[in-house]
C-alpha cells in the first residue's frame, strides 16, 4: 500500500488497520501531510512513512509486537515510566508508548502478529511452553539498535525488489523476527540459554533432507524443516553440524540451487534472474556467485 494524504482521519484509520490502538492527537491540520508505504507478509507488516505536522501519537499494541523508530530533530518518545532515546528503535507488546514532534518525522515500524511470533519462537528454542513477551523497551545496546536498522533497510529493499515472491517473503519474515528478538530484551533470549534439544539427531537429519528435497520450491523456512523432522530448530542445527558439518540453512540453500540448476538446464524460465527469484534468490549477482561456487560454472539458461 502506498499513498499520500492531507486528511487526518484517513491517516489515523490507515494506521489503525495495522495497530488498532494507534492514535494521532493534537495534529495541526494546516500543514498536515502524510506519505505512507507498507508491505504485508504473512504475520508481519513493514511500515515506512513520513508525517509532516505537529503531532502527538500513541500506540498500545494488543496481540501484537510493535517495533518502531521515530526519526525527527525535535522528537520526544516515552512511556509512562521511561524516556526513550529519540531516533532509536523501541519495542512494545502492550506497553503504551507516546511520541511528539513539531515539524516532520520519518517513522519505520514492524508489526508482528504475536501468536505467530510466539509459535515461531517456540519452534526456534524447542520450548513448547515459551510465553513470548518483551522485558524492556529499548534494544540491548546501541550496536543492537544499529543492527535492527540495517535489517529493516535490507528487508525494505528486498521487498521492493522481489514484490510478493513467497519464498523470498518467507525468509525475510523469519529474518525480521530473528533480528528483532535478538536485538531487544525478551523471554526468547532467556529460553536460548537453556540446553538445546538433541535427541534423535541422525533420523532427524534424514527427515530434514528429504523434506527439503520435496519442498525446496515452496516458501519453507528452517523452522518448517525442523518441525517436519520432529525436532527444534536449535536441535536440528546441532544435528546437522554433528552429522554433516553444515548448517540446515546451507542444506536448504543447496537444495534450492539444485532446483534452479534443473530449471536452467531445461529452459524453464524467461531469464536467469527469473529462475533465481523463483528459487528464493532476490539478488541475481549473489545467486550467480553461489551458483558458481556450488557447480563450478556461471548460471546460464539453456533454451528449451
144 in a structural domain: yes
Cα torsion 114, 120, 125, 126: sign: positive
* pLDDT for the residue numbered 117: 95
Residue 279 counted as domain residue:
no
Is residue 110 assigned to a domain?
A: yes
pLDDT at position 47 is 93
| pLDDT for 65 | 96
Which residue shows C-alpha cell 518441525?
227
Query: How far apart are the C-alpha atoms of 130 and 123, rounded to whole Å?
Result: 10
The pLDDT assigned to 198 comes to 52
d(CA 120, CA 93): 16
Residue 101 lies in a domain: yes
In a domain, 297, yes or no: no
Cell triple for residue 244? 554433516
Give a yes or no: residue 255 inside a domain: no
Per the structure, the count of domains in the chain is: 1
User: pLDDT tens track of the chain, all 304 residues?
Assistant: 888 988 888 888 888 888 888 888 777 777 788 899 999 888 999 999 998 888 888 989 989 999 999 999 999 999 987 899 989 999 999 999 999 998 889 999 999 999 999 999 988 887 778 899 998 999 989 999 999 999 999 999 988 887 668 888 899 999 999 999 999 999 988 777 665 555 556 888 999 999 999 999 999 999 999 999 999 999 999 999 988 889 999 999 999 999 999 899 888 888 999 999 999 998 888 899 999 888 888 999 877 5
Q: Is residue 16 in some structural domain?
A: yes
Task: Specify the CATH number for the domain of residue 53.
Answer: 2.60.120.10
C-alpha R_g of the chain: 22
Dist CA 17 CA 19 (whole Å): 6
CA 9/CA 24 separation, integer angstroms: 9
In the 3-class helix/strand/coil scheme, how is the chain assigned residue by residue?
CEEEECCHHHHHHHHHHHCCCCEEECCCHHHCEEEEEEEECCCEEEEEEEEECCEEEEECCCCEEEEEEEECCCCEEEECCCEECCCCCEEECCCCEEEEECCEEEEEEEEEEHHHHHHHHHHHHCCCCCCCCECCCCCCCHHHHHHHHHHHHHHHHHHHHHCCCHHHHHHHHHHHHHHHHHHCCEHHHHHHCCCCCCCCHHHHHHHHHHHHHHHCCCCCCHHHHHHHCCCCHHHHHHHHHHHHCCCHHHHHHHHHHHHHHHHHHCCCCCCHHHHHHHCCCCCHHHHHHHHHHHHCCCCCCCCC
C-alpha cell belonging to residue 96:
503504551
Q: Is residue 156 part of a domain?
A: yes
Q: Which three cell numbers, joined as nine digits, stand for 132?
A: 513470548
Distance CA(25)–CA(159), nearest Å, equals 31
**Closest listed residue to residue 113, CA positions, set 78, 67, 164:** 67
Bridging pattern class, strands 90-92 and 64-71:
antiparallel
For 172, residues 6+ apart whose C-beta sits below 8 A from its C-beta are 41, 155, 158, 159
- What the block records as the C-alpha cell of 48 is 515506512
How many C-beta neighbours within 10 Å does residue 199 have? 11
pLDDT at 42: 87
Range of 9's domain? 2-187
Amino acid at each position: 500500500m502506498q499513498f499520500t494524504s492531507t486528511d487526518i482521519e484517513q491517516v489515523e484509520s490507515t494506521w489503525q488497520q495495522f495497530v488498532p490502538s494507534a492514535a494521532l492527537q493534537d495534529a495541526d491540520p494546516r500543514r498536515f501531510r502524510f506519505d505512507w508505504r507498507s508491505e504485508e507478509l504473512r504475520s508481519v507488516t513493514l511500515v515506512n512513512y513520513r508525517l509532516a505536522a505537529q503531532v502527538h501519537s500513541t500506540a498500545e499494541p494488543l496481540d501484537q509486537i510493535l517495533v518502531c523508530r521515530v526519526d525527527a530533530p525535535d522528537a520526544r518518545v516515552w512511556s509512562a515510566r521511561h524516556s526513550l532515546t529519540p531516533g532509536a528503535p523501541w519495542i512494545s507488546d502492550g506497553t503504551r508508548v507516546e511520541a511528539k514532534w513539531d515539524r516532520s518525522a520519518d517513522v519505520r515500524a514492524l508489526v508482528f502478529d504475536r501468536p505467530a511470533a510466539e509459535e515461531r519462537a517456540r519452534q526456534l528454542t524447542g520450548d513448547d511452553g515459551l510465553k513470548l513477551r518483551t522485558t524492556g523497551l529499548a534494544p540491548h545496546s546501541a550496536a543492537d539498535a544499529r543492527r535492527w536498522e540495517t535489517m529493516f533497510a535490507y528487508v525494505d529493499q528486498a521487498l521492493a525488489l522481489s514484490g510478493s515472491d513467497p519464498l523470498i517473503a518467507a525468509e525475510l519474515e523469519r529474518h525480521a523476527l530473528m533480528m528483532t528478538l535478538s536485538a531487544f530484551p525478551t523471554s526468547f533470549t532467556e529460553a536460548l540459554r537453556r540446553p538445546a534439544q538433541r535427541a534423535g539427531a541422525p533420523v532427524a537429519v534424514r527427515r530434514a533432507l528429504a523434506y527439503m528435497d520435496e519442498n525446496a520450491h515452496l516458501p519453507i523456512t528452517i523452522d518448517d524443516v525442523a518441525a517436519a523432522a520432529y525436532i527444534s530448530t536449535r536441535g536440528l542445527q546441532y544435528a546437522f553440524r554433528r552429522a554433516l558439518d553444515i548448517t540446515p540453512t546451507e542444506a536448504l540453500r543447496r537444495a534450492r540451487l539444485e532446483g534452479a540448476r534443473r530449471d536452467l538446464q531445461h529452459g524453464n524460465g524467461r531469464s536467469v534472474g527469473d529462475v533465481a527469484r523463483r528459487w528464493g534468490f532476490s539478488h541475481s549477482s549473489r545467486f550467480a556467485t553461489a551458483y558458481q561456487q556450488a557447480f563450478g560454472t556461471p548460471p546460464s539458461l539453456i533454451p528449451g
